[in-house]
């Protein structure tokens, strides 16, 4: 059995490998297997977009007769900011354009929240993981990490919006956390542990 993580995001791929490191199954990314998959994410929810990404890879494997002994997992995630009515949410990767560097995106968000006081800076990272089993069955799971938007960007760890997301458990931003600290409380860490538990029970991994 192998797990293929349907992502082109290096930061996500690293966290999948870390959190799933203790199961006896190889965890591979699209890059590892030389597959290109970048379907249009035109869903309105994290769940819909995660399914679009997972099914694109599953269908490609199936067309090649390679879906056996393979579990496909895709992650759709994003930052939902209370003060912005939940934005950028499902559009987090596309906010200000896909290729705009994150230091610019983070600065723009800090500017948008300039008038927001402490109690108005609440935010959540949400992660939906869609898992497709070799027989085509689909399992959905979602978790979130609650925190707030920091006053300034800090730290060079993690990726994306981590430097502006204040994690109350540690009193630091996501950008200041070690990978172990982040995975212990993060949206992705939590949802992957749920899926891991399911796979160990149902698939005897
Ligand atoms: P794939 O679709 O190939 O997986 P992507 O980066 O386009 O990669 P999404 O569409 O799910 O992924 O966009 C999620 C965005 O939300 C991501 O690009 C980050 O900017 C942000 N994000 C999600 N999880 C995050 C985390 O743990 N830390 C920081 N930013 C995160």
| 64-94: pLDDT as tens digits | 999 999 999 999 999 999 999 999 999 999 9
Residue closest to 144 by CA, chosen among 123, 174, 117: 123
Tell whether the model's pLDDT for residue 96 goes beyond 90: yes
**What CA–CA distance (Å, rounded) separates 87 from 96?**
12
In angstroms, the first-to-last Cα distance of the chain is 8
The single-letter DSSP state of residue 104 is H
Protein residue whose Cα sits closest to atom 13 of ligand 1: 93
Residues 6+ apart with CB under 8 A from 79: 88, 89, 92, 123, 124, 125, 160, 161, 165
The pTM (predicted TM-score) of the whole model is 0.98
Residue whose entry in the numeric block shows the structure tokens 């995630």: 77
Protein residue whose Cα sits closest to atom 7 of ligand 1: 93
Cα 73 to chain centroid, rounded: 11
For 186, the 3-state DSSP assignment is coil
| 155-199: pLDDT as tens digits | 999 999 999 999 999 999 999 999 999 999 999 999 999 999 999
Q: Active-site residue 38, yes or no?
A: no
**What CA–CA distance (Å, rounded) separates 201 from 147?**
32
Q: Ligand 1: which of 92, 129, 157 to mutate, judged by most atoms within 8 Å of the beta carbon?
A: 92
**What CA–CA distance (Å, rounded) separates 106 from 36?**
29
Residue whose entry in the numeric block shows the structure tokens 């870390």: 18
**Residue 204 has what pLDDT?**
87
| 6-33: pLDDT as tens digits | 999 999 999 999 999 999 899 999 999 9
| 60-71: pLDDT as tens digits | 999 999 999 999
């Amino acid at each position: 059995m192998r797990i293929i993580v349907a992502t082109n995001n290096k930061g996500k791929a690293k966290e999948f490998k870390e959190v799933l490191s203790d199961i006896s199954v190889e965890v591979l990314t699209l890059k590892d297997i030389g597959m290109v998959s970048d379907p249009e994410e035109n869903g309105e929810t994290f769940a819909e977009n995660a399914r679009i990404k997972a099914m694109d890879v599953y269908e490609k494997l199936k067309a090649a007769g390679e879906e056996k002994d393979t579990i496909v997992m895709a992650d759709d995630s994003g930052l939902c900011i209370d003060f912005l009515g939940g934005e950028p949410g499902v559009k987090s990767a596309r906010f200000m354009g896909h290729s705009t560097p994150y230091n610019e995106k983070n600065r723009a968000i800090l500017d948008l929240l300039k008038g927001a006081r402490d109690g108005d800076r609440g935010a959540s990272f949400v992660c939906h993981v869609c898992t497709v089993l070799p027989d085509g069955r689909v399992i959905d799971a979602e978790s979130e990490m609650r925190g707030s938007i920091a006053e300034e960007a800090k730290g060079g760890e993690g990726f994306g919006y981590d430097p502006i997301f204040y994690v109350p458990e540690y009193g630091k931003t996501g950008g200041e956390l070690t990978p172990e600290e982040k995975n212990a409380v993060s949206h992705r860490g939590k949802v992957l542990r749920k899926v891991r538990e399911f796979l160990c029970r149902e698939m005897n991994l």
